[in-house]
């Protein structure tokens, strides 16, 4: 099981907490409402947005999860005079805290742990990762489908201007089944084609570079065809559509970063 950088709903139980926000925290950053920080830690960086992250599920599989992400990077305050906690100490206490409030542990190795928690009717994916410098990376992923904002008119404008548009259509992990949260995008593609009866398009699937190239190409082809099949089932003539899978052959960003990989995992609509 590879070590992943993730979310950590880090509720600290056995050690004490900092009770007031330190003035040296990064500007605009603060603890998540569901958790507090370990003693002698400051916030170096944070972000709050809708994002997709790697996660270890209950079957001990590496998967992608999406939702409203709160990421907090805690650094140990070496000027405090206190001794840095060990990875074992950090993870043991985080585990105790999360399990105490009803969470479950999916996986733990020497430097990271992954949990799931239901709190106040909301589902969270939780992970904690310790770095070599005793920094703690926490990500709290509140599970919620993304509100799709792309419209048929916006697609048409992009096709007329650029000849193509990249869409964030999501699929079940390792499969060609379109996720429920992405079906509104398919509906907008249908609306686009239904209102522009002369328009013909190629549906083209792309992946990042994780995994075997041949398998990625096959999966991207299956996913492109799944979108095409969904449009045909709504009444669009097959003669106006084609599907192709490029796999990892046509990246639009650097696969060296998670952000780049996310951009490369896409479905493009290309005007014929």
SS3 75: strand
pLDDT at site 132? 78
Average pLDDT of every residue of the chain: 86
What CATH fold (topology level) applies to the domain 41-143? TATA-Binding Protein (3.30.310)
Going by pLDDT thresholds of 50, 70 and 90, the confidence category of residue 119 is confident
Q: Which residue has the tokens 């926490």?
A: 138
Q: CB-side exposure of 131: number of CA atoms within 13 Å?
A: 11
Q: Which residue has the tokens 């900092």?
A: 18
Outline which parts of the chain fall under CATH 3.30.310.
Answer: 41-143
Selected from 3.10.20.30, 3.60.21.10, 3.30.70.1250, 3.30.1330.60, the CATH number assigned to the domain covering 152-271 reads 3.30.1330.60
N-term to C-term CA, the chain: 43
Going by pLDDT thresholds of 50, 70 and 90, the confidence category of residue 207 is very high
**For residue range 31-87, what is the model confidence (pLDDT) as tens digits?**
988 878 888 899 999 999 888 888 999 999 998 888 889 999 999 998 888 999 999
Other C-beta atoms closer than 10 Å to the C-beta of 195 total: 11
Outline which parts of the chain fall under CATH 3.30.1330.60.
Answer: 152-271
**For residue range 145-174, what is the model confidence (pLDDT) as tens digits?**
555 578 999 999 999 999 999 998 988 878
In angstroms, the CA 170 to CA 183 distance is 9
* Cα–Cα nearest to 154, from 109, 108, 191, 121: 191
pLDDT at site 16? 34
Cα 137 from chain centroid? 15
**Average pLDDT of span 223-234:** 97
């Amino acid at each position: 099981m590879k070590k992943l950088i993730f979310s950590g709903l880090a509720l600290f139980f056995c050690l004490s907490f900092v009770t007031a926000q330190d003035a040296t925290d990064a500007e605009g950053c603060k603890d998540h409402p569901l958790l507090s920080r370990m003693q002698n830690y400051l916030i170096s960086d944070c972000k709050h947005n809708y994002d997709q992250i790697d996660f270890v599920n209950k079957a001990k599989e590496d998967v992608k999860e999406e939702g409203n992400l709160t990421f907090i990077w805690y650094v140990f305050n070496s000027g405090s005079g206190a001794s840095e906690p060990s990875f074992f100490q950090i993870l043991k206490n985080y585990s105790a805290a999360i399990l105490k409030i009803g969470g479950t542990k999916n996986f733990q190795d020497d430097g990271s742990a992954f949990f799931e928690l239901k709190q106040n009717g909301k589902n969270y994916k939780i992970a904690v990762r310790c770095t070599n410098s005793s920094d703690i990376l926490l990500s709290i992923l509140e599970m919620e489908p993304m509100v799709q904002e792309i419209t048929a008119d916006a697609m048409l404008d992009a096709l007329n201007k650029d000849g193509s548009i990249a869409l964030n259509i999501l699929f079940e992990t390792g499969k060609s089944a379109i996720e429920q949260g992405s079906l509104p995008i398919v509906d907008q593609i249908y609306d686009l084609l239904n209102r522009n009866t002369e328009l013909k398009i190629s549906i083209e699937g792309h992946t990042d570079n994780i995994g075997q190239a041949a398998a990625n190409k096959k999966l991207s082809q299956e996913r492109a065809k799944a979108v095409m099949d969904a449009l045909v089932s709504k009444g669009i003539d097959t003669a106006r559509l084609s599907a192709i899978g490029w796999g990892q052959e046509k990246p639009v960003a650097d696969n060296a970063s998670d952000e780049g990989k996310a951009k490369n995992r896409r479905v493009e609509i290309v005007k014929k």
